[in-house]
Amino acid sequence: MRRKLIAGNWKMNGLLADGIALAAAVAELAKPRKHKCDILICPPFTLLIEAVRAVAGTPIAVGGQDCHMKASGAHTGDVSAPMLADLGCRYVILGHSERRADHKEPDSLIKTKAQAALAASLIPIVCVGETEAERDSGRTLEVVAGQLKGSLPEGGTAERVVIAYEPVWAIGTGRTPTLAEVQEVHAMIRRESGLGQGVRILYGGSMKPSNAQELLALPDVDGGLIGGASLKADDFWAIATACP
Ligand code: 13P
């Protein structure tokens, strides 16, 4: 049985006061209850230490949004996987489409970063997803399978790697694929990942309280990677509680 994971990707949002307040609000919602799913927040680097403090004593995990492929050294502006682990992070998002686009990150780099994450005992959340043009030309499965093959780390296992399917055209647009389209891609990812039945595959792209329940009920959807709706504690929590 795969336990679902609801992950909030805050992206480049939150000054200190807002970030602390948001983490504290999510922690407060998490406190009194037993949870059917794992819950994760991924704030920007500047808020990580405060987020770790805010969720201490709750089951909420904290993760980074990227890491360098090396453990240390002359890499100005970068942050390494051991640095994230040292702060108390347990996960790191890698290969998000915004990093693939903004920083020209190729699959091979994402794979190396994912290996660095594993070496630091972090769980990499490896992101894949097609652009609108790729979907329109009927190439979704081929593109996603190719990204998967190129980006997954060597030596990963179902317990130590998470995959996120995020169609680029669904991010921040309010549009989503049909449920059948999401299920088709997730089933293919599970087959092609080589990680077996136990690997968790998250859906991301305009997931919100009104569509979370039906997406999370799909057989191969094991959670969500949530952008915009993770910036409001109540919306994020409504998605977490929509887990079947
Ligand atoms: P939205 O939920 O804002 O569409 O963002 C999804 C995403 O990119 C999460 O990583």
Q: What does the pLDDT profile of the chain (244 residues) look like in tens digits? A: 899 999 999 999 999 999 999 999 999 998 877 788 999 999 999 999 999 999 999 999 999 999 999 999 999 999 999 999 999 999 999 999 999 999 999 999 999 999 999 999 999 999 999 999 999 999 999 999 999 999 999 999 999 999 999 999 999 999 999 999 999 999 999 999 999 999 999 999 999 999 999 999 999 999 999 999 999 999 999 999 999 8
Active site residue 166: yes
125, 173, 207, best to mutate for ligand 1 pocket (most atoms within 8 Å of CB): 207
Tell me, using a 6 A CB cutoff, whether residue 11 lines ligand 1: no
Active site residue 181: no
> Which residue in this structure is represented by tokens 């991924």?
42
Tell me, using a 6 A CB cutoff, whether residue 140 lines ligand 1: no
Query: In angstroms, what CA-CA distances link 176 with 73, 74, 89, 128, 167?
Result: 41, 41, 30, 15, 8
Tell me, using a 6 A CB cutoff, whether residue 172 lines ligand 1: yes
> Across the strands, what pairs with 226?
8
* CATH dotted code for 62-151: 3.20.20.70
Delimit the CATH 3.20.20.70 region(s) of the chain. Answer: 62-151
pTM of this prediction? 0.98
Ligand 1 atom with the smallest distance to the CA of 229 is: 2
Annotated catalytic residue within 50, 68, 96, 98: 96
